[in-house]
Structure formats: structure tokens, C-alpha cells
Amino acid sequence: MALLSTQSSNSRNSLVHKDKQKTVSFWESQKLAKEKAYEKKAKRYKLKLETLAVFTQQLASMLEAGLPLVSALDALQDQTDDPVFRIIIREVKADVSQGNNFSAACAKFPKAFNNLFISMVEAGEASGGLAEILGKVAGYFEATTKLTKKVKSALTYPVAVIALAIILVNVLLIFVVPTFAEMFADFDAELPGPTQFLVDLSEFLKSYILWILAGGFGLFQIWSRFTKTPKGRRIKDNLITRAPIMGNLVVKITLSRFCRTYATLLRSGVPILRSLEIVAASSGKTQVEDACKAISKNISEGGQVSETIQSINFFPPMMKHMSKAGEQTGNVDGMMNKIADFYDTEADAIISSLTSLIEPMLIVFLGVVVGGIVMAMFMPIFQLSSVVGG
């Protein structure tokens, strides 16, 4: 009996062990599948600028502390929470370990590491001051991220309120107004103009709301595809920069980015023509791209940057004079940084004024729209009560 009991126990333990092995192998296979999926995604993975700024700052700090590049990348790979970015750092580290340049390894992931980062790393490797240049890049990325967050936070509230107002008005017109229209039909009297307009608008929306949504979606798709063409991008950029209030803000942010990127590249030792290529690619505006092409052509012919800037209407007079002064004093990058600081201050002032003005304007807008609908709906009732009272 004891022998049978021992055999039975061993058989149960064997089954449990096999089940554990199956469970472990299942989770390992799942882990490998995820790893392969992340590896496929790594080549086309677009890294957020905020994440890249943190990575650059941490890498610069480690290199300044005397840590070898491979060890620094190994530490950053362990501490990052993004699984795809972890794969990218691992691949870059493997390339560097095999003797390849850091810039060449990063260039294999163009979506994660932008042209500015790669060019600055190239300059740092050539000059032997990689840690210092990475610190400058990190500062530039942090300043850009900070400004972008300010703009987004300033626009989030009004966009949310306007979207809520549109939804509320449509709900009133499609679901509430028809109820009042049925009640008004029993009056057998001519409705006031505003009320009749709302009733007609309500009937139109109820009948054609799906067509309106489909048409709006179709127009949005057409516009999106058109703005991806060279002509469409130019038209879109011109409309944005000429828009009231917001256009002025976009222009100042664009000028600040142009000046700061150009100054950062020049100070890091990147050749001027290559710097202009990177500035054009990272600007996102056709006006800056055209300006960089014109500046590059003028420099190739023996001219100066300030000469071309003075002939382009997109650049304001202050920038034209300061760029010329920078060339005369031999401090182009320092002057460009000062111009960028000036436009950053101007953009901050516009954002602050917008934030303080938008809230009361939205309250008035909502009051007029919603209050107008309510008044138009109750006008026949007020007239009926006055008739009854008379």
C-alpha cells in the first residue's frame, strides 16, 4: 500500500511539474511574441519630443560624469518604461558596442531620433565634446516642449467648451425643439420669426444630420490629403499665419524655433549649409523652408545670411537688423538666441492674454447661443399669455 501511495504521489507531482512547464513556456512564448512585435514597430516608431528630451538630458549627465557611452545606454535601457524605446536603445547600444558611431546607430531609427539630434551628435563626435553638445540639445528640446505645452494648455479649454456647445445646441435642435414645435402646432397661429427659424432648422437637421456628418467627414479627408501636397501645405501655412490673433502667435513661435535651432546648430559646429537644411526640415512651415533655400543659395554664391533675411517679408524688421548686427560683431549664434528669447517672451505674453480673455468670451458666446434658443422657444408662449391676459 505504501508503495502504491508513493507511486501515486510521484505521478501527481509529475503532472503538476508538467503543468508548470506548460504555463512557463506559454508565458515565454507570449513574451517573445511581444518582443518581436516591438522590434518590428521600432523602425517606424515616432518618439515624443518630451521623451527624447529626457533621454538626451540623462545621457548628457552620465557622459559628463565620466561614464562610457555603452554603459550609459545600458543604464538608460534598464530605466525606460517604453518597451519600444527600450528595443531602440538596445539596438543602438549593440551598434556602438561593435565599433559604429553613435550618430550612425541613431540614424537607423529616423522616426525616433530627428535630424537635429543626429546632426548634433555627429558634430559632438567630430569635436570630441559629445556630452556638452547633448546638453545643448536637451536644453533646446526642453524649451520647445515647454512652449508647446503652453500653447496646448491655452487651446484645450476653448476647444473643449466650443465642442460641448456644438453638441448641446445640436441636442436642443434635434430632440428638444421638435417637442415645442408639436405644441406650437396646436396654437394654430403664426410663429415669431426666430421661433420659426429654429423649427425649420430643427427639421432640416433631423432629416439631413447623417448627410451633414458624412459630408463634413468627406471634406475633412479631402482637405487632409490636399494639405499633404506642396501646394496644399503652402495654402494651409498662409491661412494659419494670417489668421487673427492665433496667426500672430504661430508666426512668433515659428521665428523663435528658426532662430534657436539655427543658433544651437551653429554653436555646436554644424556647417552652415547643413544647419539650414535641418532648420528647414524641422520648421514645419513652408515660409521657413523657402527662406532656408534662399539663404543657402545666397551663401553658396558668397553672400551673407542677413542679406537674404532682409529681402524676405516673412521676417520682421527687428530680426533683420539683429541678424545683421550679429554678423558684424561675429556673434551670429548669440544674437539668434537673443531673438529667440525675445519671441518666446512675446509668445508667452500672447498666450497669457488669450487665457485671460477666452473665458469671459466663451461665457458670453454660450449665453448668447443657448439663451437665444431658449428665448426663441418661449416667445410664442409669452405672446399667447399676453393674448389670454388681454
Q: Is residue 190 domain-shared with residue 75, that is, in the same domain?
A: no
Same domain, 151 and 108: no
> Is 42 part of a structural domain of the chain?
no
pTM: 0.73
Most confident option among 1-5, 187-191, 337-341: 337-341
**Are 101 and 168 members of one domain?**
no
Return the C-alpha cell found at 211.
448627410
Q: Is residue 2 part of a domain?
A: no
- pLDDT classification of 4: cutoffs 50, 70, 90: very low
Cell of 61: 549627465
| Residue 390 pLDDT | 42
By residue range, what is the domain housing residue 67? 49-113
Determine the pLDDT at residue 21.
Answer: 54
Interval 72-116: pLDDT, tens = 999 988 888 888 888 899 999 999 899 888 988 988 888 888 888
The answer to whether the beta carbons of residues 335 and 326 sit under 8 Å apart is: yes
pLDDT digit string, tens, across residues 342-377: 888 888 888 888 777 777 888 888 888 888 888 888
Q: pLDDT tens across 297-314, in order?
A: 888 888 888 888 888 888
Residue 389 domain-assigned?
A: yes
Place of cell 540614424: 107
CATH code at position 239: 1.20.81.30
Q: How confident is the model at residue 389 (pLDDT cuts 50, 70, 90)?
A: very low
For residues 96 and 238, state if they share a domain: no
Is residue 278 located within the same domain as residue 384? Answer: yes
**Is residue 45 classed exposed, middle or buried when 0-12, 13-18 and 19+ CB atoms within 10 A define those classes?**
middle
**Same structural domain, 240 and 341:** yes
Determine the average pLDDT of the residues in 206-221.
Answer: 87
pLDDT at 119 over 50: yes
In a domain, 31, yes or no: no
Identify the domain boundary among 68, 97, 113: 113
In a domain, 3, yes or no: no
Over range 132-145, report the average pLDDT.
86
d(CA 44, CA 292) in angstroms, rounded, equals 28
The beta-carbon contacts of 384-387 under 8 Å, at least 24 apart in sequence, are: 384/187, 384/189
Share of the chain above pLDDT 90, in %: 3
Q: How many domains does the chain have?
A: 2
Distance of alpha carbon 308 from alpha carbon 258, whole angstroms: 15
Q: Among residues 97, 113, 129, which one ends one of the domains?
A: 113
Among residues 143, 142, 137, which one has the least CA distance to residue 124? 137
> What's the mean per-residue pLDDT of the chain?
81
Q: Is the pLDDT of residue 29 over 80?
A: no
Residue 8 lies in a domain: no
Q: Identify the pLDDT of residue 222.
A: 92
Considering the domain architecture, whether residues 253 and 109 belong to the same structural domain is answered as no
Is 27 domain-assigned?
no
| 89 and 155 share one domain | no
Question: 86 and 199 share a domain?
Answer: no
Residue 124 lies in a domain: no
Alpha helices in the chain (DSSP H): 2-42, 49-64, 69-79, 83-97, 102-107, 115-127, 130-171, 177-185, 193-226, 230-242, 246-267, 272-283, 286-300, 305-310, 317-329, 332-389
**Which of 98, 113, 128 is at the close of a domain?**
113
Residues 80 and 153 in one domain: no
pLDDT digits (tens, 9 = 90+) for 239-297: 888 888 788 888 888 888 888 888 888 887 888 888 888 888 877 888 888 888 988 88
pLDDT for residue 2: 46
148, 279: one domain: yes
Q: What is the pLDDT of residue 122?
A: 84
pLDDT the model gives residue 387: 43
Same domain, residue pair 225 and 270? yes
